Chain A
Amino acid sequence: MNIFWRELKYSRKSMIWWCVGILFMVVSGMSKYGTMKSSGQSANEIFGAMPKSLQAIFGLSSLDLSTVMGFYGMLFSYLVLMATIHAVMLGANMVAKEERDKTSEFLMAKPVSRIRIITSKLAASLVLLVIFNLVTYAFSTAMVKHYESTADTGEIWKFMAGLLLLQVLFLAIGMVIAAITKHPKRATSLAAGILLAAYILSIVIELNDKLDALKYITPFKYFEAKNLLSDSGVDAVLVTLAAVICAACLSAAFVFYKKRDLKS
């Protein structure tokens, strides 16, 4: 448990800053909804006049922006980007930092197995992801209620469930990258790079209907607002795929970390 608590304590400050970031994102995003509502303009008209490529970049294809939940759906795609950046960096950092900070010789001389070390780090990371998720839920619900007190915020739970799955998925990707790479200092930037590539791919797919089959490659297509809001819900195949990738990355992270020569 000592490694678990130490990791939580270590991450305290950065977690507070991420929470401030979430607050800023949700408040500033939803305040645009307030502006539009009070000016009587239809958000659908404004955004509908934009070229399709811009719409794709804003992440608002087929969302009804005149409803508060539709508008929140647009904001959600940014929250997803933020949460996944947090998760992928957290995962890479957790695994790489002992080597990067040259503390692996200290830790490895202690009577703990590598499996226990990485399990403790995984557990601490999951707690941080849940905190991120709950804070996002709290701010989102509060702001949506603020602008439409009658809105059905029960839908937000669905968003958060999708968000949490993506967070865990990117945490696992970050961890496996750091466990495999021989350059612990580069692990975090490598993980962030892979995330960015996946994000750009998701926009490209949005722009080009012919590339729809590629949606299996980028996790950003797994839980989209438009699917979460529609009655059909999310594709069961994609949920399963997310779970499988996640399990594969985590087990690979354990196997590689157990066998690697640690730098010091």
Chain B
Amino acid sequence: MNVIEIKNLTKRYGNARGIEDISFHVEEGEIFGFIGPNGAGKSTTLRTLLSIIFPTSGSATIFGKDVIKHGPEIKKQIGYLPSEVFYYDKMKVKDLLNYSASFYKKDCRKRIHELAEIMDLNLNKRIEDLSYGNRKKVGIVQGMLHEPKLIILDEPTGGLDPLMQQKFFDLLKEENKKGATILFSSHILSEVQKMCDRVAIIKEGELITVEKISTLQENNHKKIKIETKQPVDAGWFAVDGVTNIESDGHKISFLYSGNINIIMKKLAEMELSNLWVDEPDLEEIFLHYYEKEEGSK
């Protein structure tokens, strides 16, 4: 079953760019990454899902129900963490969390304390006295205290130190195991790579691709680096599938996509002193997608 289904979603702000004809779906139980640079339209898409803003055209459903018509009903099962966390400054953390819990018809007190414990959050402080990272923690607890079936996170790790990030990711994985679906937007690829099953890549308001993380890494590219005794002309590697050649005579590195046997034969003909074959990280693949887009224009 698809928890989220987005169909041809378009949002324009006058002449300013919003999002253009976005379509993808998120399946039940998966952790779905939504990546792109700042200003690509990630928040616009998420805000449309929560009917904070309304689409110019297109539609979206969550749990099979239209997000505008059935907004209040579907939000019972959604937990949302906005990218910038702002709350009623005069409130204490626990008052805010209780206020948040009062919107759901269930007793959330136990869960609030559990989450505050995990995230190391002081419940008795005033929100206005909190640092950026601690506000983010309030946001995390606030978004998860009602044990939602769908967790939507917009740039969730900003302001959290690496230790907290790890605790937070563990928490998310635990929720995911219990059955929660997670939609995770980010411009930091390594965290998406760590967490997600599939990703949608968005750029300048348009969806570039939706892929399995594993497909992105496996099928497409190998990062190969060799060291030779004799200087080698970089032109020797001018075969199909080789890109990003960098050479300083003895050391050559490049990206390769295609039949692995062809490149192995090429390499076997050489006198090598060293060889490295790596999976490129998502960052490099991402750049590759960008270049391809630029090139096709």
Residues of A contacting B78 in the complex (Cβ-Cβ under 8 angstroms): 109
Asked if B104 is at the interface (CB within 8 A of a chain A CB), the reply is yes
Task: Give the distance in Å from the alpha carbon of A75 to the alpha carbon of B99 in the complex.
Answer: 42
- State how many angstroms separate the Cβ of A98 from the closest Cβ of chain B: 9
Whether B82 lies near A264 (C-beta < 8 A) is: yes
Asked if B275 is at the interface (CB within 8 A of a chain A CB), the reply is no
Task: Give the distance in Å from the alpha carbon of A10 to the alpha carbon of B87 in the complex.
Answer: 13
Residues of A contacting B82 in the complex (Cβ-Cβ under 8 angstroms): 105-106, 109, 264
Whether A108 lies near B86 (C-beta < 8 A) is: no
| Interfacial residues of chain B within 83-129, with CB under 8 A of chain A in the complex | 84, 86-90, 99-100, 102-104
Residues of A contacting B143 in the complex (Cβ-Cβ under 8 angstroms): 109
Question: Which of A62-70, A110-118, A213-221 sits within the interface?
Answer: A110-118
| Interfacial residues of chain A within 196-246, with CB under 8 A of chain B in the complex | none
Whether B86 lies near A112 (C-beta < 8 A) is: no
Whether B72 lies near A111 (C-beta < 8 A) is: yes
Residues of B contacting A102 in the complex (Cβ-Cβ under 8 angstroms): 84, 86
Residues of A contacting B87 in the complex (Cβ-Cβ under 8 angstroms): 103, 106
Our pick among A103, A104, A112, A261 for the contact of B54 (Cβ within 8 Å) is A261
Our pick among B71, B75, B76, B99 for the contact of A6 (Cβ within 8 Å) is B99
Q: Is the interface of B mostly helix, strand, loop or mixed?
A: loop
| Interfacial residues of chain B within 42-77, with CB under 8 A of chain A in the complex | 47, 50-54, 71-73, 75-76
Asked if B80 is at the interface (CB within 8 A of a chain A CB), the reply is yes
Task: Give the distance in Å from the alpha carbon of A166 to the alpha carbon of B145 in the complex.
Answer: 44
Q: Which residue of B lies closest to A1 (CB)?
A: B102
- State how many angstroms separate the Cβ of A213 from the closest Cβ of chain B: 41
Asked if B10 is at the interface (CB within 8 A of a chain A CB), the reply is no
Whether B99 lies near A2 (C-beta < 8 A) is: yes
Residues of B contacting A2 in the complex (Cβ-Cβ under 8 angstroms): 99, 102-103
Whether A104 lies near B72 (C-beta < 8 A) is: no
Asked if B157 is at the interface (CB within 8 A of a chain A CB), the reply is no
Whether A262 lies near B52 (C-beta < 8 A) is: yes
Our pick among B53, B71, B102 for the contact of A262 (Cβ within 8 Å) is B53
Whether B72 lies near A101 (C-beta < 8 A) is: no
Report how many A-B pairs have Cβ atoms within 8 Å. 62
Whether A109 lies near B75 (C-beta < 8 A) is: yes
Whether A101 lies near B51 (C-beta < 8 A) is: no
Residues of B contacting A6 in the complex (Cβ-Cβ under 8 angstroms): 99
Residues of B contacting A109 in the complex (Cβ-Cβ under 8 angstroms): 50, 52, 75, 78-80, 82, 143
Task: Give the distance in Å from the alpha carbon of A2 to the alpha carbon of B104 in the complex.
Answer: 11
Residues of B contacting A261 in the complex (Cβ-Cβ under 8 angstroms): 52-54
Q: Is the interface of A mostly helix, strand, loop or mixed?
A: loop
Whether B47 lies near A264 (C-beta < 8 A) is: yes
Asked if B253 is at the interface (CB within 8 A of a chain A CB), the reply is no
Residues of B contacting A264 in the complex (Cβ-Cβ under 8 angstroms): 47, 52, 82, 84
Task: Give the distance in Å from the alpha carbon of A113 to the alpha carbon of B100 in the complex.
Answer: 15
Asked if B185 is at the interface (CB within 8 A of a chain A CB), the reply is no
- State how many angstroms separate the Cβ of B32 from the closest Cβ of chain A: 18
**Chain B CB within 10 A, most for which of A10, A106, A108, A264:** A106
Task: Give the distance in Å from the alpha carbon of A2 to the alpha carbon of B102 in the complex.
Answer: 7
Residues of A contacting B52 in the complex (Cβ-Cβ under 8 angstroms): 104-105, 108-109, 261-262, 264
- State how many angstroms separate the Cβ of A56 from the closest Cβ of chain B: 43
Whether B103 lies near A112 (C-beta < 8 A) is: yes
Given contacts A110-B75, A113-B71, contact A101 B104 (CB under 8 A): no
- State how many angstroms separate the Cβ of A96 from the closest Cβ of chain B: 15
Residues of A contacting B71 in the complex (Cβ-Cβ under 8 angstroms): 113
Residues of A contacting B79 in the complex (Cβ-Cβ under 8 angstroms): 109
Asked if B181 is at the interface (CB within 8 A of a chain A CB), the reply is no
Binary interface encoding of chain B residues 231-249 relative to chain A, with 1 for a CB under 8 A from any of its CBs, else 0: 0000000000000000000
Our pick among A103, A112, A259 for the contact of B72 (Cβ within 8 Å) is A112
Q: 5 pairs across A/B with beta carbons < 8 Å?
A: A105-B50, A105-B80, A105-B86, A109-B50, A109-B80
Q: Which 5 A-B pairs have the closest CB atoms?
A: A102-B86, A109-B80, A110-B103, A261-B53, A111-B75
13 further A-B pairs in the complex, CB-CB below 8 A; given A2-B103, A10-B90: A101-B86, A102-B84, A103-B88, A104-B52, A106-B142, A108-B50, A109-B50, A109-B79, A109-B80, A109-B143, A111-B75, A261-B54, A262-B53
